[in-house]
């Protein structure tokens, strides 16, 4: 493979800015085809992003001889279906997060990919963003001593109640869960990157407002295999003044605070006043990860976000909501 020629299945909102343009801007990478079930929208996307071909049938995109890698950017309920299609066609797959709707689907895709010797990557791009790498660097240098525990806090205002056309992200049969499943996946994946796999998880999920079927409030406690303990709470029915997005890592000599979604400066506390480190937001947040994937496909370089690492995050999420409902 001299150049990675991508085809996107599901060219919706997530591909407009976060990922789509990065395929064109990355060296030795090109976006050559897109697919969406709505042919008019697929054609419009292709025209606006200067993509030479578009399809309304995923099988036609996967079988396109010019496409040698596939990006699955549909809702989670179809991740496994389209990923299986690409793997069976012998083409590497880059999957949006969370990897699949269920942990079992993740395991099935990973097993198939291993049998066919096809690489699987997942869009947990925070493993490559400079601000998050600064957090990892500070911990690695011992700036806060030995890490004892981590706390996650995410509070957001509720959706306005709607009788119809609820977002798919709050429909468990499509998303796997609700906003917790969608947003906490980034947080747990990054903590896996910092401290290794989570082996013990205890969570309580509930739906307090009954605006949609999924959980809207969650509390979790967990333990990483490395010995780091964690706790967190996620509330998606909080008042406007309560919006909050913070991860706090506590060590024997200090602590680090940073946001997951707001790109505010990383704060290192060793004395009273924090030391601030810029946390820039790239124009295309997936670009660093896509660059790493291209390097892996062309030169065999290691990628930090794979089907195996992503499946661990699905397992954690599923442990938390399993007592709330069954898909």
Tokens of 49: 């992003």
Q: For 215-227, what is each residue's pLDDT tens digit?
A: 999 999 999 999 9
Indicate the DSSP class of residue 16: I
Q: For 184-194, what is each residue's pLDDT tens digit?
A: 999 999 999 99
- Under the banding of pLDDT at 50, 70 and 90, the label for residue 163 is low
Sign of the torsion formed by the C-alpha atoms of 297, 300, 301 and 306: positive
Q: How far apart are CA 45 and CA 11, in angstroms?
A: 7
Chain-centroid distance, C-alpha 7: 19
Residue 326 has pLDDT above 70, yes or no: no
pLDDT higher at 326 or 204: 204
DSSP for 94-120, written as a single string? EEPSSSSSSHHHHHHHHHHHHHHT--E
Q: What is the pLDDT of residue 73?
A: 98
Q: Which pTM was predicted?
A: 0.95
CB-based contact 207:179 (threshold 8 Å): no
Q: Which CATH entry fits the domain spanning 130-281: 3.30.43.10, 3.30.360.10, 3.40.50.300, 3.50.50.60?
A: 3.30.360.10
- Under the banding of pLDDT at 50, 70 and 90, the label for residue 65 is very high
User: The domain at 4-124+285-301 falls in which architecture?
Assistant: 3-Layer(aba) Sandwich (3.40)
Q: For 75-128, what is each residue's pLDDT tens digit?
A: 999 999 999 999 999 999 999 999 999 999 999 999 999 999 999 999 999 999
Which runs of consecutive H residues, i.e. helices, occur in the chain?
13-14, 20-25, 39-48, 58-63, 79-88, 103-116, 130-140, 172-175, 179, 185-195, 287-299, 307-321
Domain boundaries, the chain: 4-124+285-301, 130-281
Q: Which are the contacts of 88, defined by CB distance < 8 A and separation ≥ 6?
A: 112, 116
Q: What is the pLDDT of residue 327?
A: 42
DSSP for 18-65, written as a single string? IIHHHHHHSTTEEEEEEE-SSHHHHHHHHHHTT-SEEES-HHHHHH-T
270-285 mean pLDDT: 92
Q: How far apart are CA 9 and CA 68, in angstroms?
A: 13
Question: At which residue do the structure tokens 């399809």 appear?
Answer: 55
Q: What is the pLDDT of residue 325?
A: 64
Question: Which range is least confidently modeled, 34-43, 114-123, 153-162?
Answer: 153-162
Q: For 283-295, what is each residue's pLDDT tens digit?
A: 999 999 999 999 9
In the chain, % of residues over pLDDT 70:
98
Q: For 301-310, what is each residue's pLDDT tens digit?
A: 999 999 999 9
Q: What is the pLDDT of residue 162?
A: 65
- Under the banding of pLDDT at 50, 70 and 90, the label for residue 165 is confident
- Under the banding of pLDDT at 50, 70 and 90, the label for residue 271 is confident
Mean pLDDT, the chain, integer: 95
């Amino acid at each position: 493979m001299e150049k990675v020629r991508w085809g996107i299945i599901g060219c919706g909102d997530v591909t407009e800015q976060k990922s789509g343009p990065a395929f064109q801007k990355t060296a030795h990478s090109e976006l050559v085809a897109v697919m969406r079930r709505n042919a008019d929208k697929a054609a419009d996307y292709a025209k606006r992003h200067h993509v030479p071909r578009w399809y309304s049938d995923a099988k036609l995109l996967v079988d396109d001889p010019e496409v040698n890698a596939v990006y699955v950017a549909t809702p989670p309920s179809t991740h496994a279906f389209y990923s299986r299609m690409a793997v069976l066609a012998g083409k590497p797959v880059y999957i949006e997060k969370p990897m699949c709707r269920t942990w079992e689907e993740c395991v099935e895709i990973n097993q198939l990919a291993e049998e066919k010797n096809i690489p699987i990557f997942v869009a947990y791009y925070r493993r490559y963003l400079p601000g998050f790498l600064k957090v990892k660097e500070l911990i690695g240098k011992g700036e806060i001593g030995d890490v004892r525990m981590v706390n996650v806090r995410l509070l957001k205002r509720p959706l306005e109640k709607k009788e119809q056309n609820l977002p798919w992200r709050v429909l468990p049969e499509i998303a796997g869960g609700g906003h917790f499943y969608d947003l906490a996946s980034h947080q747990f994946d990054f903590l896996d990157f910092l401290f290794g796999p989570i082996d013990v998880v205890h969570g309580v999920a509930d739906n307090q407002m009954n605006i949609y079927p999924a959980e809207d409030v969650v509390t979790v406690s967990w333990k990483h295999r490395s010995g780091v303990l964690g706790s967190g709470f996620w509330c998606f029915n909080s008042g406007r003044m309560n919006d909050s997005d913070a991860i706090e890592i506590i060590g024997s000599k200090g602590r680090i605070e940073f946001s997951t979604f707001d790109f505010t400066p990383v704060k290192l506390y060793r004395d009273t006043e924090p030391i601030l480190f810029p946390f820039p937001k790239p124009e295309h947040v997936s670009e660093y990860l896509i660059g790493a994937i291209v390097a892996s496909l062309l030169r065999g370089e290691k990628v930090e976000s794979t089907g195996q690492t992503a499946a661990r995050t699905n397992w954690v999420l599923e442990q938390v909501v399993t007592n709330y409902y069954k898909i």
